[in-house]
Amino acid sequence: MIAIALDSLRSAFDAIRAHGLRSFLTTLGIIIGVAAVIAVISIVQGLSHTVNAQFQGLGADTVTVRSYTPFAQAMRGRFARLDEGDLRAVRHRVEGISHITPVLFSPDGRTGQVGYRSRNHFTQVLGVGPAYIDVTGVMPQEGRFFSRSDEERRRMVCLIGTEVAEQLELPGSGLGEFIRVGDDWCRVIGVLETRGELFGMSQDDLVLLPYSTMQRLIGTSRRLDIQIQLRVDDVDRMDEATERLRRVLRQQRGLRPGQADDFRVQTAEQLTESFNSILNTVTAVAAGIVGISLLVGGIGIMNIMLVSVTERTREIGILKALGATRGDILLQFLIEAVLLSVLGGLIGLAIGYGVGALAAMLLPGFPPAHVPMWAIVLSVGFSAGVGIVFGILPAAKAAQLDPIEALRYE
């Protein structure tokens, strides 16, 4: 049986090589279909691979709490906010957390503008607590992070990202220099480690201030809306901790039973799952649409194989006269159809990865293309399946030919 299969494989290669152009045109639908699917998958999975690595950097035990305003409430001009009362409630009433920090974003361009001498730059300015380094793992590559003394005394000190230092053309790394944040001067006490880009946005273009200093810059007339980030002591009890956190916040915010939460509690795992769910949906829809090309390619293979059966009718008659069985003939033509389809799939795989890699390279800030092993196996397997499904009819027709009639065929 193995010898017969090898002979059939050799014969299939010879037949494909003898009609090279026709074989290429036959597999063109398979090539286009697989190339399109792999190109989409390589781009989407490259993005997923990079973002998942970023989320993992947050730590599986990290929780973020942010305000959430339902659409109907927002239409009435009522926006939910998290304030220091919520922060104190979480800090003192939620057990099982080791570190907690508020995160206060700059509300307008005034506190988002930084400058040095004649240079100005708009960037993201955040006010954070000393525990921010323990919660997020963001470390200074030079200098130090904020101390409790900086927080308590509202000192005008800051940490900057490497891109801020480049944009402001600070001497050296910028450590020890004074920069303007809004209308005030801050001394640079640390330079954050380089983290690269995500979604085309630089993660190194930011300035960190002590939380109390950020409050001072914003002023007391504006209602604040903060984020709360914390780290859970025992990651195995994450669900219990987040549920306890939710109960405390509902009590603190006076929400009645049945009333929807006006805040969101998110873990790094939930963020990863949500993001992957979106990407998987995009991949599935794109693959389903492009799968039509594989169907067209399969029909093309069936038509050409039917033509090939007609052209080789005398050859089939000779083979049967020499003792070839119906199974032998069926196997020979089926292998040829599968080989055509698989070769088209492999060519499409190479082209698709090349197109995906080129597209990712040309898109600014986009992560490199990545093709997971399951996509390669699925593409080749699906191509082989198309060859079997659409090759079985021509193979069966060849196997059923009467040897005497086949030998008489002109």
Q: Are 140 and 190 in contact (CB under 8 A)?
A: yes
pLDDT of 112 reads 78
pLDDT of 186 reads 93
> Rounded to the nearest 5 degrees, what angle is found at the Cα of 124, between the Cα atoms of 164 and 217?
105
Neighbours of 299 (CB within 10 A): 13
pLDDT of 322 reads 66
Using N-to-C axis directions, what is the helix angle for 2-18 and 326-362, rounded to 10°? 60
Say which residues have a Cβ less than 8 Å from residue 364's Cβ, sequence separation at least 6. 200
d(CA 113, CA 96): 38
H or E stretch covering 198: strand 197-198
> Rounded to the nearest 5 degrees, what angle is found at the Cα of 151, between the Cα atoms of 150 and 152?
95
pLDDT of 109 reads 46
Q: Token pair of 225, please?
A: 């809306």
Q: Token pair of 72, please?
A: 């109907």
pLDDT tens for the chain, 410 residues long, are 565 556 556 665 666 666 667 777 777 878 888 888 888 888 777 777 666 666 555 556 788 899 888 776 767 777 888 888 899 999 889 888 888 999 998 765 455 789 998 899 989 999 999 999 988 888 899 999 999 999 999 999 999 999 999 999 999 888 999 999 988 899 999 999 988 766 557 788 999 999 999 988 887 667 788 999 998 888 778 888 888 999 999 999 888 888 888 888 888 667 667 767 777 777 777 667 666 767 777 777 777 777 776 666 666 666 666 666 776 777 777 777 788 888 888 888 888 888 888 887 777 666 777 777 877 887 788 778 877 777 777 777 776 766 656 555 55
Q: Token pair of 271, please?
A: 């963020």
Q: Strand 124-128 to strand 206-210: parallel, antiparallel, or no bridges (unpaired)?
A: parallel
Instruction: Give exposure, 194-206, as e/b (b: 16+ Cβ within 10 Å).
Output: eeebeeeebbbbb
pLDDT of 391 reads 74
Q: Are 135 and 100 in contact (CB under 8 A)?
A: yes
pLDDT of 108 reads 59
Question: Number of helices (H) and strands (E), helices first, in the chain?
Answer: 16, 14
Neighbours of 75 (CB within 10 A): 9
Which 3 state secondary structure label does DSSP give 176?
coil
Domain ranges of the chain: 2-55+274-408, 61-267
First to last CA, the chain: 32
DSSP secondary structure letter of residue 281: H
